[in-house]
A and B are shown apart, each in its own frame.
Chain A
């Protein structure tokens, strides 16, 4: 697979995700004449059950998925890396505590905990970010801890300790640069699973609220009109799968390039 294809898809996603507020879109405008109109009769991507333009909603939905992915991966990767690397380096009580917390979080399958959290916190994009971050940091913490454990007795770290370099500085300058490759790969696959998780929560009605657009809630709306307007499910789903595929392909490529051995592409939904 040539790399420019997934890269193009991702650039398009990032661009529409960021630029949507400034594009002349009318994702919530209702055209009663065109309710459930298919792409074949109207051009573009067709219209949904309320007569809203699917292409505009698709682009508005890309903003939702991009923002959620950006914040969740950014927050959980930085928090997880920080906690994991410090616990791994300091060891002792805090490390044992972290391992217990990690085991506890891993006791919940898939996005169940995020579903429960989002369900209890109530709908809204901030709560989606919160729920997915609370669940997401654990993976990065586990990875960062394992990496730091394998590096902490390296000679250059010992030398820094002997020179009296403060702990925070050792972690920041002598450990983090060495453990960044597997974390970057993990974060790349993380984008794919967050996109799926956001859409999944919105599909369950636990994500953004109507009339705001999310690919997940668009698919949910479409399931009621599968026979008369299959495009309502096909269009947002295809967009989402393209992004997820592109991220997974890029992640595979990155993993080979950075020579990292970790688990494969994982997404549950």
Chain B
């Protein structure tokens, strides 16, 4: 019952945020300095063209009518047409989603593969060279932005060694470098969290009990400490998955990876504002929903959360 109430409350508050996000994204286009039609067509456009675009965008209507039409479009998945390619925006988005999904899944895999051993080793060998090495990696990973990490990986692994393609999404190897770029920066944050979480758990009584039973250090770490230490990490992992699914705009641009993020930048460059709006909306909604699901998952896994509900 408690979990059911929690679910209801969660859905209600998520719905509120979703509505707010949709309105904020709608308002974005009204932030364009001056006349948006001028910005999109240029100062020299014909008056007839301007009028046509104004009507196509609904800018001749009162703002509340525009908002109502926009929200209706969001609910019915009819986001209008791209100004640039004249294609329906929903189709444009659908075309790009698989690429973003693929990148997110592989990048999350890399993140876990890097962060779990690093964090565990650092905690198990606290204040040794291992620990320092892992935490130096973490500091570097946090400080090196993806738009520098990406080109460095391209230089070494694509241009010098020739192991992977430079950019694009052709062939199975193409996902490796962009996913590694995203994975290292996320793993840097996650490894730090896992380290401090494991250290906290290692101080608990049941760990002492496990040692007292005569269990090996390895077994204590992997079977008793790690699962409990990973619980608080789930929240961070959910945030990171949200970021990844949301489309890593910069990383996708570095590698010309044809996902939602690259579409956003392409639309900004061609001043295709309806597409920009749709992309930002999709990204933010994905992020909000993944985060809400993470919270729920957390409550399901850890009964202690439900009590406070």
Contacts and interface: CB of A to CB of B under 8 A. Distances in A.
Interface of A: 100, 103-104, 107-113, 115-117, 119-122, 192, 196, 199-200, 203-206, 216, 219-220, 222-223, 226-227, 230, 233, 237, 240-241, 244-245, 248-249, 264-269
24 contacts: A100-B16, A109-B242, A111-B249, A112-B280, A115-B264, A116-B28, A120-B31, A192-B143, A204-B249, A204-B250, A219-B148, A223-B154, A227-B155, A233-B148, A233-B155, A237-B151, A241-B144, A244-B143, A264-B142, A265-B139, A265-B143, A267-B142, A267-B143, A269-B146
A120 B148 contact: no
Contacts of B21: 104, 107-108
B143 A248 contact: yes
Contacts of B143: 192, 241, 244-245, 248, 265, 267
A218 B42 CA distance: 28
B109 interface: no
Interface in B141-181: 142-148, 151-152, 154-155, 159
Given A107-B21, A245-B139, A219 B283 contact: no
Contacts of A248: 139, 142-143
A249 B142 CA distance: 11
Given A107-B17, A115-B249, A116-B276, A241 B148 contact: yes
Nearest to B277: A116
A245 to B, nearest CB: 5
Contacts of B288: 107
A230 to B, nearest CB: 6
Given A120-B32, A204-B265, A112 B283 contact: yes
A117 B280 CA distance: 10
A104 B33 contact: no
Contacts of A116: 25, 28, 264, 268, 276, 280
A111 B287 CA distance: 13
B284 A119 contact: no
Contacts of B33: 121-122
B197 interface: no
Of the listed residues A108, A113, A240, the one surrounded by the most CB atoms of chain B closer than 10 A to its CB is: A108
Of the listed residues A199, A222, A264, A266, the one surrounded by the most CB atoms of chain B closer than 10 A to its CB is: A264
Given A115-B249, A119-B276, A196 B243 contact: no
Given A116-B276, A119-B276, A109 B283 contact: yes
Given A109-B283, A117-B28, A223 B254 contact: yes
Interface of B: 16-17, 20-21, 24-25, 28-29, 31-33, 39, 139-140, 142-148, 151-152, 154-155, 159, 185, 189, 192, 242-243, 246, 249-250, 253-254, 264-265, 268-269, 273, 276, 280, 283-284, 287-288
A108 B21 CA distance: 8
A264 B148 CA distance: 21
Contacts of A110: 243, 246, 249
B28 A203 contact: no
Contacts of A264: 142, 189, 192
Contacts of A100: 16, 20
Contact of B20 (A107, A109, A113, A203): A107
A265 B142 contact: yes
A120 B142 contact: no
A120 B28 contact: yes
B147 A269 contact: yes
A108 B269 contact: no
A267 B154 CA distance: 22
A241 B185 CA distance: 13
A266 B243 CA distance: 14
Contact of A240 (B25, B145, B253, B265): B145
Contacts of A111: 249
Contacts of A233: 148, 151-152, 155
A200 B250 CA distance: 7
A223 B151 contact: yes
Contacts of A216: 147
Contacts of A121: 31-33
A232 to B, nearest CB: 10
Contacts of B276: 116, 119-120
A241 B146 CA distance: 11
A77 to B, nearest CB: 21
Given A112-B264, A115-B265, A226-B151, 18 more contacts: A104-B24, A107-B17, A108-B280, A109-B284, A111-B249, A115-B249, A117-B28, A203-B147, A204-B265, A219-B147, A219-B151, A223-B254, A233-B152, A237-B152, A264-B192, A266-B189, A267-B143, A268-B243
Of the listed residues A222, A227, A266, the one surrounded by the most CB atoms of chain B closer than 10 A to its CB is: A227
A116 B51 CA distance: 25
Nearest to A119: B268
Given A107-B284, A222-B151, A117 B24 contact: no
B284 A108 contact: yes
Contacts of A245: 139-140, 143
A230 B24 CA distance: 41
A76 B298 CA distance: 33
